[in-house]
Chain A
Amino acid sequence: TQLLEQSPQFLSIQEGENLTVYCNSSSVFSSLQWYRQEPGEGPVLLVTVVTGGEVKKLKRLTFQFGDARKDSSLHITAAQPGDTGLYLCAGPPNAGGTSYGKLTFGQGTILTVHP
């Protein structure tokens, strides 16, 4: 069974601070996705990383996929209250022929950014 461990589980910071969320596994993933979920809503995909060592930027968010494709990180620069939410990493199974929509999710990181 592929597991994804996210840390930290909770993060409470002031507006303007930087933060990093980690997503680690002992298994290799063909790709990893990062989602953001707000209360009462479903997760919304932020990014998919596919290549080991890949770095993707989305405005103030920077996503990295580890060289060995076992870990990923999300870094937010100068956090804003609008960044508040639940951040989830997720990855598809590796075995051939199985559904790529059958995602394994991390436990999530609840981020609160105070004004």
Chain B
Amino acid sequence: AQSVTQPDIHITVSEGASLELRCNYSYGATPYLFWYVQSPGQGLQLLLKYFSGDTLVQGIKGFEAEFKRSQSSFNLRKPSVHWSDAAEYFCAVGSSASKIIFGSGTRLSIRP
């Protein structure tokens, strides 16, 4: 069965520091992978997606993610975080856009 694990419930990073949010998935075939961000009180916004091709994917707001098949991972990275990046981040996996499974989320706090 498909599943997504985000092992970090809450991460605090200093402003200007680099960021990596972890995501591991379980899926038998080639997965479709997504990262979403949710600001407080808002819905989810798509940051980036991977379907095939280059395993390093660029997204909005300066984020990128790398698909590593051998590790079943799709970690999200940003070289320098800004206070506005404080939010909850969700990794998701699906066999098609019609059935996507979300991880439990990682809450990111930014230290001034």
Whether A and B are associated in the same complex: the answer reads: no
